[in-house]
């Protein structure tokens, strides 16, 4: 059984342990140049620091999905830096647990933490088809706009504001 709760510093080692396996294949593409490949390596290398940083911030949360046998199998970092449009900054699941509800549970908790009444944004690489399908399943829509200044551009997806009634379905 998978449960989601607030992360602690005890989760960081396990999270680091599956970060490369999760992000490596999803972020890779045969057409990438060396700067884009280096960016992917850098992002994987930032995982622990990003998670630890979220633990210390009032405007962010680290959510961790835990399997009762395996321990941490996924995490999300959610930012309320802009209260008018909070952001799902990271959402990463151990590939062994893809399609098994961990990501759904993280998304539910993320939306719960954000609360109703505001739109939610995120950035996703355009060829990350599984992530895009996942986000669409949860009500996010591709705006066609680029967000941030990445070597591999991120498409801005937004989930419109709604009341809280759908979040528990
Ligand atoms: C993105 C991620 C968190 C989603 O978690 P998940 O457990 O894989 O998600 P789910 O299986 O619930 O949903 C994925 C959906 O995409 C579908 N899918 C799978 N492969 C696909 C593909 N190549 N193209 C399109 N859709 C695809 C699945 O069928 C599923 O839809 P369904 O539930 O209607 O059947 C997870 O895949 C992950 O950690 N990926 C690597 C890290 C990453 O890319 N994170 C997002 C960064 S923005």
**Ligand 1 pocket mutation pick from 64, 134, 152 by most atoms within 8 angstroms of CB:** 134
Tens place of pLDDT per residue across the chain (169 aa): 999 999 999 999 999 999 999 999 999 999 999 999 999 999 999 999 999 999 999 999 999 999 999 999 999 999 999 999 999 999 999 999 999 999 999 999 999 999 999 999 999 999 999 999 999 999 999 999 999 999 999 999 999 998 655 555 4
**Ligand 1 pocket mutation pick from 64, 128, 130 by most atoms within 8 angstroms of CB:** 130
Residues with CB under 6 Å of ligand 1 are 22-23, 26, 91-93, 98-99, 103-104, 124, 128-131, 133-134, 137
Q: First vs last Cα of the chain: how many Å apart?
A: 19
CA-proximal residue: ligand 1, atom 35 (nearest) = 99
Q: What CATH architecture is 2-166?
A: 3-Layer(aba) Sandwich (3.40)
């Amino acid at each position: 059984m998978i449960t989601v709760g607030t992360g602690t510093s005890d989760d960081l080692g396990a999270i680091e342990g599956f970060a490369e396996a999760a992000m490596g294949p999803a972020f890779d593409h045969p057409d990438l140049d060396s700067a884009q490949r280096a960016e992917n390596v850098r992002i994987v290398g930032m995982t622990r620091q990003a998670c630890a940083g979220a633990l210390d911030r009032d405007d962010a949360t680290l959510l961790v999905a835990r399997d009762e046998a395996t321990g941490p199998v996924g995490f999300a970092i959610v930012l309320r830096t802009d209260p008018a449009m909070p952001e799902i900054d990271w959402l990463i699941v151990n590939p062994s647990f893809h399609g098994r509800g961990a990501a759904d549970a993280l998304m539910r908790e993320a939306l719960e933490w954000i609360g109703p009444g505001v739109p939610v944004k995120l950035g996703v690489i355009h060829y990350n088809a599984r992530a895009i399908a996942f986000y669409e399943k949860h009500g996010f829509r591709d705006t066609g706009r680029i967000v941030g200044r990445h070597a591999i551009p991120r498409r801005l997806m937004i989930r419109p504001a709604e009341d809280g009634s759908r979040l528990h379905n």
